[in-house]
Amino acid sequence: MDKTYSNHFSRIGVSDAEVQERVKHCFDTLFFDPEERIWQDVDDDSACIVDTGNIDARTEGMSYGMMMCVQMDRKDLFDRLWQFAMRYMYHAEGIYKGYFAWSAGLDGRHNAEGPAPDGEEYFAMALFMASARWGEGKGIFAYAAQAREILRHCVHQPEIVPGGRAMWDESNHMIRFVPEADFTDPSYHLPHFYTLFAERANPEDRAFWLEAAKASRDYIARSAHPVTGMSPEYAEYDGTPRLFPKKPFTYYSDAYRVVMNIALDTLWFGRNEGMARIATNLQDYFHGIPESDYRAYQIDGTPTEEPAMHPVAITAVLGAASIASDSACADEYLRSFWQTPLRTGKRRYYDNCLYFFSLLMLSGMYRIY
């Protein structure tokens, strides 16, 4: 696809060479640093991305790692992650046939059998891009064929497996939180992926993915708070936040990804006014709040006593938001993010995944292949 990608950090005086050096350093830290990596070798031909806060491998992290590898042109690492996913997480039979168990131990034993749809959509997109960048292999390394099969199950599971449930609600084209749920997670909505699925999925499903892209852009704008720009972590199909007794707040970890997704959709497919308002409002809300004071919030901006579990992730996505934002302080967020290092320690996995994706976007190195 003919597209120009820019170094957004140049707005604050950071050169292309400096940006490329930072990207390489961060990738090397995540995958190779003896103390701070999130990569773990498992077999001679497989490896996993470790959620360091929970000491497991999740389809979220596995698929994130594959996307990082395809963007960084590391087929060797990509194939090792995909081998682990197919060997240890893939369901070859049963009610979840064609899906992936969302959490596995580092030895491959399942912690849960059910899938989480954000993993499947990232797997599919990473595989399509791998095919475009490296070509098709054989078996599980026939990347595009594997991606199309994942998406076929996501949409047609009830037709394929008696009693199975699709990952998207066919009546409204919205992704479910899990197949059994009739509500959603706004951060799962990736219209930029669905726009590409509409070009690369099985021909009979391409119209579905076009509708899903439109539905998700509308939903992201509708479900966010009109003043703060905060999105709920979980929500009904009408956009109303869904609360759970153990998590009585709405703007929390999953929700940070929404503005990051807005940034990537804007980068790849252009400005959407409704989503640009979210990025603008979110930056305006957080302006002047130091990272040390980030909390869990209600989406109207009311802070709770619960500290943010992933403060570096908030800083990162607020930086990425500058791609779409009209806020007068957008460049301040670029500067703040540039001056923030990767997180270290137990909780580094989630923060640093969002950090690296935001860095790729802003550097001009998160590209369509």
Active site residues: 60, 254
Q: How far apart are CA 318 and CA 333, in angstroms?
A: 6
Give the three-class secondary structure for 41: strand
83 contacts 140 by C-beta, under 8 angstroms? yes
CB distance 56 to 48 below 8 Å: no
Residue 26 near residue 356, CB atoms below 8 Å:
yes
Task: Give the C-alpha separation, 30 to 349, whole Å.
Answer: 9
Residues 6+ away with beta carbon under 8 Å from 279 = 229, 259, 262, 263, 321, 322, 323, 324, 325, 326, 327
Locus of tokens 């009408």: 238
Q: Give the single-character DSSP code of 308.
A: P
Q: Concatenated DSSP letters for 71-120?
A: HTT-HHHHHHHHHHIIIIIB-SSSTTTTSB-SEE-TTS-BS--S--HHHH
Q: How many CB atoms lie within 10 A of CB 8?
A: 22
